[in-house]
């Protein structure tokens, strides 16, 4: 369902973590002596990181297995965005404890944001855990495994200001062979008051754009036809051949302060987006996630210039009230957010898909301020969204400085109103597509029926249509929409 409904805890917007669980489904047998099993929780960035981990561990002597029963090493790549996400990991570790009792040699490691947040506490509290590694410590995993092999518990939660894993070719896990994630940056410099990401993933740094383009070229050569560029805030992507100047100051500040940029290569997100689009017109390009305070018209004009850049933008709002946005430290007002919406509509047209994140019941939010969020939704009319009610996360600025004074009952009531309104808007927006014909990339068989294919159009809407022997996964087809629900478009091949 395109409208993601979640009524417990908080989802950080830039991570887009639905606390989804993805188990490794790739069985590799290249003669390695030991087997690795990975589960990823939370955001797209975690799924991408697991592919990097699989590559590192392959070099370290492990093949992957799709069965935890066959594993010598189990990694849980974790999310710390919500308490519910962490509790899910703890329950999973309890289950794995039984498996370890039957197989004492089994090694269990916790990776990712929960590992970074809890550090040594995780080993102390969950006796089944043998090693802990944060998001910037994955190159050290073979060494950590060796420490555990020697009878020790092992941990590395060092946060780097340079690590981007740019030179590592990911092992594509759970891939449909058509779509792939490509990480373009790591970390986050925004200090949204509700968010733990800056503390679990470290400072922002951008990956070398040429390594990104090379990865996309390699994916295309292997038959992939869609890439999603990933970052906590892709609009702030900035890379330079002189990182000592640009990474510290940024391009505009460097110019203002008189830095000599002669011969210095500078690539911002608009430049990168164009470079990736030029790999091949057959490669669809998506990205996630934008930040309203950083999105420029340059990015929108590049999107308009290339047909293979999908006309879809995830633009988190969080609230429709400027006072609440200031408390959240989002860096924009209701008015400046709506200015970005107007720019999207003017440059990319009304058919461009727009989704959002919204938080119900943030600290001190009044009924009138909640109504401002509903009125923002009425003005924008999002295609779909990610909606949550607020709950505190430890050590965030909100937890330290603001009082979580909205009752759970009120939070749930406000969230229900947001969800109900978004369902109306999703259906309304989808009805506008009935009678239109879209270019759809076939991603596989529909979950509804083996007789149907599914794919997405440029606006990121799921399209279901009859299966044809003439077409297969990875093909582009033209589909005319004849009906819809709030979550799906139904069509016929033309």
pLDDT, tens only, 408-425:
999 999 999 999 999 999
What percent of the chain is predicted at pLDDT more than 90?
78
Mean local confidence (pLDDT), 302-308: 98
Q: Which two tokens stand for residue 41?
A: 């929780």
Q: Which residues pair with 154 in a beta bridge?
A: 131
What percent of the chain is predicted at pLDDT more than 70?
91
Domains and their CATH numbers in the chain? 14-156 (3.40.50.12160), 179-233+267-431 (3.80.30.20), 437-493 (2.40.50.140)
Which of 163-172, 241-250, 260-269, 345-354 is the most confident on average? Answer: 345-354
Q: Which residues pair with 465 in a beta bridge?
A: 453
pLDDT higher than 90, residue 222: yes
pLDDT (0 to 100) of residue 5 = 31
Mean local confidence (pLDDT), 76-90: 87
Under the banding of pLDDT at 50, 70 and 90, the label for residue 236 is very high
pLDDT (0 to 100) of residue 17 = 36
- The residue count for the chain: 494
Mean local confidence (pLDDT), 49-62: 94
Q: Which residues pair with 445 in a beta bridge?
A: 453
**141-160 residue pLDDT tens:** 999 999 999 999 999 999 99
| Direct distance between the N- and C-terminal alpha carbons of the chain, in angstroms, rounded to an integer | 25
Tell me, rounded to whole angstroms, the distance of Cα 201 from its chain centroid. Answer: 13
Strands of 27-151, DSSP E: 34-42, 62-64, 73-78, 107-112, 131-133
CA–CA separation, 488 and 319 (whole Å): 26
Q: How many CB atoms are closer than 10 A to CB 475? A: 15
Strands of 14-127, DSSP E: 20-23, 34-42, 62-64, 73-78, 107-112
pLDDT (0 to 100) of residue 32 = 77
Within a 13 Å sphere around the CA of 477, how many CA atoms are in the beta-carbon half?
Answer: 27
pLDDT higher than 70, residue 259: no
pLDDT higher than 50, residue 10: no
pLDDT higher than 80, residue 102: yes
pLDDT (0 to 100) of residue 350 = 96
């Amino acid at each position: 369902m395109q409208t993601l409904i979640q009524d417990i805890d908080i989802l950080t917007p830039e991570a887009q973590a639905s606390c989804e669980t993805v188990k490794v489904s790739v069985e590799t047998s290249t003669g390695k002596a030991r087997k690795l099993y990975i589960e990823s929780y939370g955001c797209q960035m975690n799924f991408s990181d697991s592919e990097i981990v699989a590559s590192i561990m392959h070099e370290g002597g492990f093949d992957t297995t799709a069965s935890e029963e066959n594993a010598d090493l189990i990694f849980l790549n974790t999310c710390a965005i919500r308490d519910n996400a962490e509790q899910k990991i703890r329950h999973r570790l309890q289950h794995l404890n039984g498996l370890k009792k039957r197989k004492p040699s089994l090694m269990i490691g916790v990776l990712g944001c929960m590992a970074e947040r809890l550090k040594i506490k995780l080993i102390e509290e969950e006796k089944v855990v043998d090693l802990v590694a944060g998001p910037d410590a994955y190159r050290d995993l073979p060494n950590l495994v060796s420490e555990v092999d020697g009878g020790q518990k092992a941990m590395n939660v060092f946060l780097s200001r340079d690590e981007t894993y740019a030179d590592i070719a990911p092992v594509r896990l759970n891939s449909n062979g058509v779509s792939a994630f490509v990480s373009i940056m790591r970390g986050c410099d925004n200090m949204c008051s509700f968010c733990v990401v800056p503390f679990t993933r470290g400072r922002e740094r951008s990956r070398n754009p040429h390594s990104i383009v090379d990865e996309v070229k390699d994916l295309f050569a292997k038959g992939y036809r869609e890439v999603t560029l990933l970052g906590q805030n892709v609009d702030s992507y900035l890379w330079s051949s002189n990182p000592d100047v640009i990474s510290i100051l940024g391009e505009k500040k460097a110019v203002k302060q008189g830095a000599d940029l002669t011969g210095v290569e500078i690539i911002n997100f608009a430049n990168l987006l164009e470079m990736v689009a030029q790999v091949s017109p057959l490669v669809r390009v998506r990205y996630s996630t934008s930040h309203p305070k950083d999105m420029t018209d340059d990015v929108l004009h590049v999107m308009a210039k290339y047909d293979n850049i999908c006309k879809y933008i995830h633009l988190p709002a969080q609230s429709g009230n400027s006072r609440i946005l200031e408390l959240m430290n989002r860096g924009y007002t209701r008015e400046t957010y709506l200015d970005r919406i107007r720019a999207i509509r003017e440059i990319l047209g009304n058919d461009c898909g727009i989704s959002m994140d919204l938080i119900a019941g943030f600290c001190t939010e009044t009924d009138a301020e909640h109504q401002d969020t509903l009125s923002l939704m009425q003005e924008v009319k999002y295609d779909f969204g990610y909606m949550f009610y607020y709950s505190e996360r430890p050590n965030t600025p909100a937890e330290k400085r603001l009082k979580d004074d909205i009752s759970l009952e009120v939070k749930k009531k406000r969230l229900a109103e947001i969800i109900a309104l978004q369902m109306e808007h999703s259906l309304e927006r989808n009805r506008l597509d009935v009678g239109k014909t879209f270019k759809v990339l076939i991603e596989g068989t529909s979950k509804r029926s083996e007789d149907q294919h599914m794919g997405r159009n440029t606006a990121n809407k799921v399209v279901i249509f009859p299966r044809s022997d003439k077409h297969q996964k990875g093909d582009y087809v033209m589909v005319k929409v004849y009906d819809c629900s709030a979550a799906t478009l139904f069509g016929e091949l033309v």
